[in-house]
Amino acid sequence: METLGHYWLRGRLGLLEESGVEVWEGQDTRTGLEVLAFRPLDGTPPKLPLAHALPWVDALEATWVAEVPAGAVQAVWLSGQVEPARLVRWVRQLLEVLEGARAQDIPIGYICPELLFTRGSRVWLAGVGVPHPGRRWDYGGFLQTVRAMAGELYPALPWREALEGYATGQLEAGALRAALEAATAELPPVSAALPVVEVAEPLERLPDVPPPKRIRVEEEERLEPPPPRPARRRWLWLLPLPLLLGLGLWWRGQTAPSAQPTQYPVEFRLEPPGARARIVVLEAPEGSRMPLGSELAEVPGAVVFDKPGVYRIRVLVAGRPPVESLIEVPHPGGVTIALR
């Protein structure tokens, strides 16, 4: 691990072709947020008034530092798994980044899945402002990135021809926007997995809060003995205790079989096959007892989770930098880890 000012650089993400610029993954030690470091780059990075471009937050030692939004993950992990409605939103946002940068003459020399970060239906492009020696804006990379995200769905996309026409300079941005708008009207809404988890959390907490309050009140009332004949009344209060204790043990035995924990196995696959990876759980849903920060399992294979919801995991592969991702449990289709 390398130190750059108050940033930790974990490892190199890649090398931008023909420019010699390296991209490093890291973390801001002050905020804990993920960052990307581009180096060597001299001067000051441009200000980016673009909603879907990763903002530059620092420049030091010939390095430009961009901040990754909390909870965002690399879109490359979702290649071929994005539903059409979400893909349309991503393409519209990338199109706005390209057109906004073009209007302000800000170069976008590189667009690829590794520089694309996502959280839900939002995407952010990293490296806006980094030039390429042979082009001002990477329209070809835009096309190839969308194709990689769509996977097998790409040939059947109704707006594919408009996308290719825009990327090759045959159509204006307005034509692609119109095609995306038409497709949006025909597609089902984007599935919202995270709001379901957020709604479910309070439902799990509510049953745990009221009972202690009622029990405490009852115990306080019973502990107040009346003034007349205190000794006799004290013995009368102790008589029902063995009976209550026996009833409690019997009730616990009756309800124990129904409290068996439910398991949620998720199948992890690696592409190409033959490699091995280790899974570490970093964040878990409310009520989960999964150990955080330690290795949970080795994949490929099934990994068992104890609660439904969204988990933040880290994937460790020998000889490669660690990568973090969000997965939703249960996940019937399994998770594919693409090694690039």
**pLDDT digit string, tens, across residues 164-187:** 999 999 999 999 999 999 888 776
DSSP run (H or E) holding 181: helix 173-186
Give the mean pLDDT of 229-236: 52
* 121: pLDDT strictly greater than 80: yes
pLDDT tens digits along 20-43: 899 999 998 888 889 999 999 999
* 239: pLDDT strictly greater than 80: no
Question: Computed from CA positions of residues 156, 161, 166, 168, in that sequence, does the dihedral angle turn out positive or negative?
Answer: positive
Number of H helices, E strands in the chain: 8, 16
In percent, the amount of the chain with pLDDT more than 70 equals: 77
326 burial (CB, 10 Å; 0-12 / 13-18 / 19+) is: buried
Chain mean pLDDT for the chain: 80
* 209: pLDDT strictly greater than 60: no
Closest CA to 110 of 147, 79, 77, 136: 136
Please give the pLDDT value at position 123.
93
Cα gap 167→180, rounded to integer Å: 15
